[in-house]
Amino acid sequence: MIAAELSFTQLLDAVRKLSPSEKLELNDVIWKEDISIPIEHQKLVYERIKSAQSNSQVLHDWDAVSKKLNS
């Protein structure tokens, strides 16, 4: 095995040269790695979901907000 250090830009250039099937395979390898979300982050998300559900009157429809922001 030959090890070489690549800059991020060099890595992107190498990935762009891959075939579509190779890119899909690379994607599968990347996302199959053990990615763990810290408990503190999980708790924060659950708290926000609970808050949103109990205060649904303060939530806004995304389509309406998006139209207002784009006008």
Residue whose entry in the numeric block shows the structure tokens 């389509």: 63
Average pLDDT, the chain: 90
Q: What is the pTM of this model?
A: 0.44
Could you list the residue range(s) of the whole structural domain that residue 64 is in? Answer: 39-70
DSSP 25: H
> Is 10 part of any domain?
no
Q: Sign of the CA dihedral 60, 64, 65, 68?
A: negative
Total structural domains within the chain:
1
Distance CA 14, CA 17 (A): 5
> Is 2 part of any domain?
no
> Is 27 part of any domain?
no
Task: Read off the tokens for 33.
Answer: 């790695």
Predicted confidence (pLDDT) per residue in 29-60, tens digit: 988 887 788 999 999 999 999 998 898 888 88
User: Is residue 30 classed exposed, middle or buried when 0-12, 13-18 and 19+ CB atoms within 10 A define those classes?
Assistant: exposed
> Is 12 part of any domain?
no
> Is 62 part of any domain?
yes
